[in-house]
Structure 1
């Protein structure tokens, strides 16, 4: 069941899995993605390992607040918010949940938000897991093909969105694993029906680009850090994960051959095992 709370001056929609007495585990999703992009099956596997799992919609995604009046910032225009603000959203959600501290897992842009939260509020982060992410927009830029997909004009209707989703994940997904077209189109349809706001994705992208590098600040981090990355990622190439792990003292890097910019179902048991080992260490 989706619940909404007010945090950091906005409304945040979230869902939870597992025993409320379990280890608190907060999942932060990536650019333009919604809480449903953390697959229920993956959330349930994490919950089975003793985690109380919460997935949520970032601002400008899904059922959380959209900063619609801000439009999409053009070149030379300051964005309406930064990753710092999205990290404070996350801390505010933790306050609403009654979580003084949590294990924080972020994927792609979510990894950037998780890194930012750990830098700004290290006392709130028990462990950090950064998945298919990077410590700065200038590090590990997308390939030309992936960049073209990222910057493509959004589809105008539901059918077009579904077709565009298949094209996108064919390009940036995991070449070492079979592409699940049915799951991609089903998820794209669910996301469209929950909320379709390409301008919100544009504002999130502007926040990424304006937030700069975290390399120096990550070098002062003492939060236990796990970095997971696909070796075939074209949107955030492996160098992004390597740079994240190199920046954080004592970070552990785990890479997966054939994994692109998604979380293939076949890798869920390994990913869950790595996260569980990290949160119970």
Structure 2
């Protein structure tokens, strides 16, 4: 039996963070450098797959994943009427670190989670041992030296322009098919593994008392948006991982992040779209993450 197979997740636990409960789960030894995984919009922690987390833990990392509010077993808000903004999602991350007794952690954020991670690194530098940004775009406005970033692909823009009926959130198959269709929409050149996506989406549905609440992430209160900041002010060692076939944030978005965050490194993920790294790229991602998260401050 290999080391990865021997790494089993701890039991899920609910922790109080301010006025909400956040469901979290860990892999590995608490004495190891902690990695906090921050997911994208609508994504429960299930999208950080067991096998991925176990491989990081087997490499000597204490891996923490969690359900963002309105996903999984974390606190949900009225469907279609969230009373919070991204500022609250930032506060949730800091509160989760506090609840777990972590003075700092290596943040790994994907898509919306990558945007949140940039803001956290700028505002709470002492809590961020390192920063890894996956499938995301600069959260800070660009200066005169930033080239205009390319828009989403024409095909994706056409799909967004068409009416997009939502799933029947009470029906498991309808919700699984919704997430499968989304994965196909945002995928790059790597074929979508339907069985894998169905397994993840089905597990997320089964763990979620209110699956429809996940769509609240698209309706966050603009009045509660975080204040502007500068990417040049981020001091955490930063690694940017970006798909070469991202239809939402073309590769130039990753290049801009790596160029504007001091000392940041950039690793292309060949063929990947706007998505969580699929298993075909885990070797590349983990080979980059492990040394990065062993940096000073861990």
TM-score, normalisation: structure 1: 0.88
Contact 1:172–1:260 under 8 Å retained in 2:
yes
Equivalent-residue separation in structure 2 for 1:205 and 1:241 (angstroms): 25
Match for residue 31 of structure 1 among 41, 61, 64: 41
Aligned positions of 1:126-137 closer than 5 A: 126-136=129-139
Give the aligned length.
272
Q: Between Structure 1 and Structure 2, whose CA radius of gyration is higher?
A: 2
How much has 1:106 moved relative to structure 2? 0.5
Give the stretch that moved more between structures: 151-160 or 227-236.
151-160
Contact 2:40–2:110 under 8 Å retained in 1:
yes
Give the stretch that moved more between structures: 17-26 or 152-161.
152-161
Any stretches of 5+ residues in structure 2 without a counterpart? 1-10, 142-148
Match for residue 153 of structure 1 among 165, 168, 173: 165
CA-atom RMSD, angstroms? 2.5
How much has 1:221 moved relative to structure 2? 1.2
Q: 1:236 to 1:118 in 2, by over 3 A?
A: same
Q: Which residue of 1 aligns with 2:7?
A: none
How much has 1:141 moved relative to structure 2? 4.8
Aligned positions of 1:69-218 closer than 5 A: 71-72=80-81, 80-136=83-139, 141-146=151-156, 148=159, 152-156=164-168, 157-175=171-189, 177-195=190-208, 196-204=210-218, 206=220, 211=225, 216-218=229-231
Q: Which residue of 2 aligns with 1:63?
A: 73
* Deviation string, structure 1 residues 7-39 (Cα, Å, up to 9, x no partner): 132100001001111101100010100001001
Any stretches of 5+ residues in structure 1 without a counterpart? 73-78
How much has 1:59 moved relative to structure 2? 1.1
